[in-house]
């Protein structure tokens, strides 16, 4: 994503809603002109009269399914009455009447904010409130589900049709909720908002007011249910972002850059004119440190803008609008996929470039990544504690994206700003942080760092050096050392750097050269986007091996330090002293073995894409080999545990695995072997 001006999207769009969805959301609830007495909907004490609302739910001729269109039509006047009622209250009256009934959501402080937004002239205020309300409601309903059920459904629509929630709240109540947020046949407010289909002017505020009242009513029903059952209602903890330093690729967005963004919003065709108020609010929220609000809106607009680019480069304009209930919406899942639904290649990755796609996959999709949209839209994150670091990265990326869709003149002027130029350079250099391949690199280096501590471990007490040396010198141990040299020499033939002597690299203690080599290998850029299944399967096993090696190393470090301290304090019994000496003897072998295995999986990682050149039989044999190495490291974790201390057995299984590694290496079936003659080679 080089920041050069890309295609300019023609913007003659007046709505992102298909005709039927537009009618349901913007017209259907206004057709019936009927007045309702608020006292029949909510009592003076704020108790919701569900029976009155349920009377508006209509059913198909069979009587089994909700008639969503008729229900929306009849609910329209009820929502109007509720909206008028809530807007007539003062802030204190609203708090007095409803605050207690919002406690069950675990975010009661959200509702006074929504009350203020309902009266706000700002066009983005109500849509933003609805997005936060629907995510909060989904999370709270999931907590209620877990009173009875075991595994909460991931999708809101599945949650709302669950028998567990119907048991707590009643079937008619769940049908009312589905009209508003749970079915693509109804208003579907949650999905059309979170996927960026709705412009600020298209959301009737009365639906937000109605959902506020329904939330209070759910709190009342839940209280009654808990009193009847004596169940304890527990909220799941919020998700917190970890490894924030790994997320920091772009520098902080300064006030100077924000001023440039305000101009870009007017000039970049990535921004749909009907969505401009959202973008303006994004900047305002970032300035005022309301990072969750900023990112909620930004994610919807990224999806909207990328959907437009997606439909343009793939020549499928019909996929831009909301789909009807019989068809899937075009969302991030489709936009970022390798192929279209008809198996044609998606042209968006080629247009945006690999760095931009890797960024989007990192922040939205990869399981080990922050998955910002998933966590926010499902109410899994505390809105008050949303980290600036995550907001800054997404916002900075979006700025570079805006620049892709401006004229050359605007781009040239923008590039004169040093901060903007830095953002563009960071975007160009971005590589995945959270793909399994990237995660494996990190795990390898974590393990390398642990093994590097071994030379600093306490030495054998001087008076026991002779005894320890005797224990080291066994036929099996000597055979292991011989195998390590043979395997290292074999690998040496496939290393392109002449000065890289593996036999020296695997000395005990570990040398700085070994660490340097691992870092050099892990710094190599390896393709991550759309890895085939075979690559991902191998990566999973390699990750597990590295994790087990790290566990072994950490256990040995901890045990050595404890045992040495006990030795010096003379608190070890005779048998424990002998076991301690066996351990010291064993780890002189285990150190180069772990170095060898770590180097081996790093070399395989660097050449990972050559696995696709194996036939099915060879591939299965390769997996079998890797799993045998994994089994060895798992057993070594068990044997080196402080409670087990099975050091003789550790030597035995080490000999067995080295024999297997040598046998497989002789067959020239490792990836480093294949890479030598491969056009995709990435060996040193």
Per-residue pLDDT at 499: 45
Which backbone phi and psi does 252 adopt, to 5 degrees?
Answer: -60, 140
Number of CB atoms found within 10 A of residue 368's CB = 16
Residue 497 CA to residue 484 CA, distance in Å, equals: 20
Contacts of 508 (CB under 8 A, 6+ apart): 588, 591, 592
Per-residue pLDDT at 126: 98
**Alpha helix stretches (DSSP H) within 232-381:** 244-247, 255-267, 276-287, 291-313, 332-335, 348-352, 354-364, 372-377
Per-residue pLDDT at 280: 97
Q: What angle do CA 638, 643, 645 make, to 5 degrees?
A: 65
Per-residue pLDDT at 585: 81
Alpha-carbon Rg for the chain in angstroms: 31
Which backbone phi and psi does 339 adopt, to 5 degrees?
Answer: -125, 160
Could you give the C-alpha distances from 561 to 21, 456, 483, 638, in angstroms and in order? 67, 10, 29, 19
Could you give the C-alpha distances from 3 to 269, 405, 415, 488, 641, in angstroms and in order? 14, 9, 9, 46, 53
Number of H helices, E strands in the chain: 32, 0
- 285, two tokens: 């929220």
Per-residue pLDDT at 679: 44
Residue 500 CA to residue 613 CA, distance in Å, equals: 27
Per-residue pLDDT at 680: 46
Kindly write down the DSSP assignment for every residue of 360-381, as one continuous string: HHHHHT-TTS--HHHHHHTT-S
Per-residue pLDDT at 461: 61
Coil vs helix vs strand at 353 = coil
Burial of 263 (0-12, 13-18, 19+ CB in 10 A): middle
Residue 7 CA to residue 104 CA, distance in Å, equals: 49
Coil vs helix vs strand at 408 = helix
Coil vs helix vs strand at 59 = strand
Could you give the C-alpha distances from 274 to 25, 124, 304, in angstroms and in order? 17, 11, 11
Per-residue pLDDT at 324: 65
| Segments of the chain with pLDDT less than 70 | 1-11, 63, 323-328, 459-473, 496-510, 676-684
Check whether the bond before 100 is cis (ω within 30° of 0): no
Per-residue pLDDT at 7: 54
- Which letter, b or e, does each residue of 591-601 get, where b requires 16 or more Cβ atoms within 10 Å of its Cβ? bbbbbbbbbbb
Residue 119 CA to residue 580 CA, distance in Å, equals: 74
Residue 111 CA to residue 212 CA, distance in Å, equals: 8
Per-residue pLDDT at 498: 44
Closest CA to 189 of 17, 436, 7, 396: 17
Closest CA to 365 of 378, 355, 375, 354: 375
Residue 556 CA to residue 93 CA, distance in Å, equals: 64
């Amino acid at each position: 994503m080089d920041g050069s001006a890309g295609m300019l999207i023609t913007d003659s769009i007046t709505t992102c809603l298909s005709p039927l969805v537009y009618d349901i959301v913007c017209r259907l609830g206004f057709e019936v002109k009927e007045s309702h007495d608020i006292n029949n909907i909510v009592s003076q004490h704020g108790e919701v009269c569900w029976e009155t609302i349920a009377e508006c739910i209509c059913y198909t001729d069979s009587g089994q399914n909700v008639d969503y269109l008729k229900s929306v039509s009849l609910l329209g006047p009820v929502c109007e009455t509720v909206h008028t009622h809530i807007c007539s209250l003062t802030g204190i009256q609203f708090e007095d009447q409803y605050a207690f009934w919002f406690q069950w959501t675990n975010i009661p402080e959200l509702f006074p904010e929504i009350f203020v937004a309902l009266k706000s002239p700002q066009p983005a205020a109500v849509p933003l409130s609805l997005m936060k309300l629907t995510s909060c409601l989904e999370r709270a309903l999931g907590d209620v589900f877990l009173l009875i059920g075991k595994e909460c459904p991931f999708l809101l629509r599945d949650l709302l049709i669950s028998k567990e929630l119907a048991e707590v709240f009643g079937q008619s109540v769940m049908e009312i909720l589905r009209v508003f947020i749970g079915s693509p046949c109804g208003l579907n407010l949650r999905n059309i908002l979170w996927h960026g289909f709705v412009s600020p002017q298209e959301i009737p505020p009365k639906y937000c007011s109605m959902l506020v009242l329904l939330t209070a009513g759910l709190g009342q029903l839940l209280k009654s249910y808990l009193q009847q059952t004596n169940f304890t209602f527990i909220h799941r903890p919020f998700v917190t972002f970890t490894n924030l330093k790994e997320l920091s690729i772009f520098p902080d967005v300064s006030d100077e850059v924000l001023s440039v963004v305000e101009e870009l919003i007017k000039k970049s065709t990535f921004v749909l004119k009907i969505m401009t108020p959202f973008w303006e609010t994004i900047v305002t929220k970032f300035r005022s440190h309301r990072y969750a609000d900023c990112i909620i809106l930004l994610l919807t607009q990224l999806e909207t803008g990328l959907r437009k680019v997606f439909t343009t480069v793939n020549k499928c304009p019909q996929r831009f609008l909301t789909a009807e209930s019989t068809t899937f919406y075009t969302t991030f899942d489709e936009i970022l996929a390798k192929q279209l639904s008809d198996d044609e290649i998606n042209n968006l990755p080629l247009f945006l470039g690999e760095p931009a796609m890797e960024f989007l996959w990192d922040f939205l999709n990869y399981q080990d990544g922050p998955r910002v949209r998933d966590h926010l839209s499902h109410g899994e994150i505390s809105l008050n504690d949303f980290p600036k670091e995550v907001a800054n990265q997404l916002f900075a990326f979006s700025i570079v994206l805006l620049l892709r869709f401006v004229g050359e003149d605007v781009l040239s002027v923008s590039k004169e700003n040093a901060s903007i130029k830095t953002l563009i350079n960071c975007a160009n250099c971005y590589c995945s942080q959270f793909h399994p391949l990237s995660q494996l690199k990190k795990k390898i280096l974590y393990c390398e760092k642990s093994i590097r501590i071994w030379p600093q471990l306490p030495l054998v007490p001087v008076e026991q050096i002779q005894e320890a040396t005797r224990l080291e010198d066994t036929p099996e141990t000597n055979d292991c050392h011989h195998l390590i040299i043979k395997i290292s020499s074999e690998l040496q033939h496939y290393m392109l750097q002449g000065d890289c002597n593996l036999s020296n690299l695997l000395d005990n203690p570990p040398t700085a050269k070994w660490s340097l080599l691992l870092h050099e290998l892990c710094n190599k850029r390896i393709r991550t986007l759309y890895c085939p299944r075979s690559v991902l399967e191998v990566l999973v096993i390699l990750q597990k091996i590295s994790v087990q090696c790290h566990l072994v190393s950490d256990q040995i470090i901890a045990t050595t330090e404890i045992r040495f301290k006990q030795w010096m304090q003379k608190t070890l019994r005779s048998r424990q002293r002998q076991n301690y000496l066996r351990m010291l003897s064993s780890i002189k072998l285990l150190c180069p073995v772990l170095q060898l295995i770590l180097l081996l999986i790093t070399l395989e990682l660097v050449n990972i894409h050559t696995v696709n050149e194996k036939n099915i039989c060879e591939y299965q044999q390769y997996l079998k080999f890797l799993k045998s190495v994994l089994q060895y490291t798992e057993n070594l974790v068990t044997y080196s545990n402080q409670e087990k201390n099975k050091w003789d057995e550790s030597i035995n299984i080490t000999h067995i695995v080295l024999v297997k590694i040598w046998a497989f290496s002789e067959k020239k079936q490792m990836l480093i072997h294949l890479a030598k003659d491969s056009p995709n080679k990435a060996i040193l």
